[in-house]
Structure 1
Amino acid sequence: MAFENKEGQRVPNCSFPVRVGDSWATLTTDEIFNGKTVVVFSLPGAFTPTCSSTHLPRYNELAAKFKEYGVDEIVCVSVNDTFVMNEWKKQQEAENVSVIPDGNCEFTRGMGMLVAKTALGFGDRSWRYSMLVKDGVVAKMFIEPEKDGDPFEVSDADTMIRYINPDFTEQASISIFTKPGCQYCAKAKELLNEQGLAYEEIVLGTDASTVSVRAITGKTSAPQVFIGGQYIGGSEELEAYFATAEA
């Protein structure tokens, strides 16, 4: 089937039953889009491989940059129920992305993106796409090419952010191993925040064990910082790294 590019058109007017804490609520497209600049990306399903390994995490990682470039909210839409979407967001630690459960397929059908995934036992799902929506009107849309399988070539976060700002420069990926209550860990995170750098925090005892950090660094102390594949060290080494970069 041929997917219609909806640029210049309004998004479908519909509502979504959502679970907020222990209560039900209703979220409408007016609440999501009116008066806002919103980036939307839609995918076949929560907990599926590409969606979990790349699509959602990268939008979450670049959320601060999107905000800097004038985006008010990042929204992920999938034909799943609210319980599944909420649990997926929690499992992915995607606190910078709003997840929308289009369980009744109303939004996806209205966008002309509904496809049959019956061969996989999925039923009807969304084709993968992304779009920039301004005050409810689609300003730009990236639709994955119509190929067999699950193509992932144009709806990614990097394509969208480079459309919004062609001068976007990718930050080196940063990971920091920390321990709860560690003052040196707090100092290292403060140094990263002062530089305006996004980072992934790996908490020892929760996200990883001391065995992991010892296997990687040869040490069991925290923090341990990595920038762009380079091992930096603890808070003092991180401070020296920034001082050298600014010299």
Structure 2
Amino acid sequence: MPFENKEGQNVPDVTFMIRRNNQLLPVTTDEIFKGKTVVAFSLPGAYTPTCSSSHVPHYEQLTETFKQNGVDDVVCFSVNDGFVMEAWQKELDAPSVTFIADGNGDFTKGMGLLVDKSDIGFGPRSWRYSMLVRDKKIVKMFIEPEKPGDPFEVSDARTMLNYINPKAELPHFVTVFAREGCPHCIAAKALLKERGIKFEVINTGAGSGLTARTLEAVCGRSTVPQIFIGSKHIGGREDLEKYFA
């Protein structure tokens, strides 16, 4: 039997137990959704491959873009306990997404998307989906097709952003190859921070597994920093200054 699309209906009224500041705290559906525009997505489980490598990271990367397009919050649901969700959020370094533990599966069951994954030892879990919610009312749902395994075709961040605003400008993802203690690296990172640009740092040198030879193979230079904006190689600190100028 196909999953019911609940567009036009309100989200279920549920009280969740989440973990914040070393405490388990109750959070209601109203606190999450009432009076807000929320992008929510749900997934089968913390620490699972697709959820960790693609689903959550892409929403984290696009959270600011969602907010620029009228969204108040981006929320991740999973039928896991609050301890697991808190630890997983820290490990993924995803501070922009709000993680909600649907420990008993009450919310997921109310959405009609609680599925039995006992065959792989998971027990009851959420089917993968995303939705746009305004003041508790579901405006749009993207439910993964009912196929064997764990399909991931329509509940991704890009699909949701394209629904909200097909002309939304995607952020440029910035990567900085650096080395601990390098003054030019410190200056380059400071320049990016001054401009409010988020970036990831890949450290090179002793113990990192990345040598000068590796760096040269990647970008044709063996010195640090080396900065990439999107797929474009900008170069070192002075090159970054010229790029912004």
TM over 0.5: yes
CA distance in 1, matches of 2:96, 2:225: 24
TM-fit CA distance, 1:171 = 3.5
User: What is the aligned partner in structure 2 of residue 212 from structure 1?
Assistant: 210
The secondary structure found in structure 1 opposite 2:175 is strand
Structure 1 residues 109-135: Cα deviation after superposition (integer angstroms, max 9, x where no partner): 000001111111100100000001111
Which residue of 2 is the match for residue 234 of structure 1? 236
TM-score, normalised relative to structure 2:
0.89
Kindly state the Cα deviation for residue 2 of structure 1 after the two structures are TM-superposed. 1.2
- State the secondary structure of the residue aligned to 1:32: helix
Q: Which residue of 2 aligns with 1:167?
A: 167
> Displacement of 1:17 after TM fit?
1.2
The separation in 1 between residues aligned to 2:203 and 2:87, in whole angstroms, is 20
TM-aligned CA deviation for residue 39 of structure 1: 0.5
Name the aligned partner's letter for residue 238 of structure 1: L
Q: Pairwise mapping of residues 11-30 of structure 1 onto structure 2 (< 5 A)?
A: 11-30=11-30
**Count of residue pairs brought into register by the alignment:** 241
Q: 1:64 to 1:213 in 2, by over 3 A?
A: farther
Q: Which amino acid aligns with 2:131?
A: M
**TM-score after normalising by structure 1:** 0.88
Name stretches of at least 5 consecutive residues in structure 2 with no aligned partner: none
Asked if structure 2 preserves the Cα contact closer than 8 Å seen for 1:176 and 1:202, the reply is yes
CA-based RMSD of the aligned residues comes to: 2.3
Return the offset for 1:195: 5.7
Q: Evaluate the alpha carbon distance shift between residue 210 and residue 146 of structure 1 in structure 2; reply closer, same or farther with a 3 A threshold.
A: closer
Q: Report deviation, 1:78.
A: 0.3
- Asked if the contact 1:177–1:213 (Cα under 8 Å) also holds between the matched residues in 2, the reply is no
SS of residue paired to 2:5 = coil
Q: 1:117 to 1:179 in 2, by over 3 A?
A: same
What SS does the corresponding residue of 1:212 show, helix, strand or coil? coil
Distance 2:211 2:72 in 1: 37
How many Å apart are 1:55 and its aligned residue?
0.3
1:8 aligned partner:
8
Q: Secondary structure at the match of 1:62?
A: helix
* Alpha-carbon spacing, 1:235–1:23, altered in 2? closer, same or farther (3 Å): same
- Kindly indicate whether the alpha-carbon contact (under 8 Å) linking 1:67 and 1:73 is maintained by their aligned counterparts in 2: yes
Q: Which residue pairs with 1:118 in the alignment? A: 118
Alpha-carbon distance between aligned partners in 2 of 1:15 and 1:102, rounded to the nearest angstrom: 9
Q: 1:2-151 residue pairs with structure 2 within 5 A?
A: 2-151=2-151
Could you tell me which runs of 5 or more consecutive residues in structure 1 were left unpaired when the two chains were aligned. Answer: none
2:114 & 2:101 partners in 1: Cα distance? 14
Q: From the superposition, tell whether residues 48 and 71 of structure 1 become closer, same or farther in structure 2 (CA, over 3 Å).
A: same
8 A Cα contact 2:65 2:170, kept in partner: no
Q: Partners of 2:203 and 2:34 in 1: how far apart?
A: 38
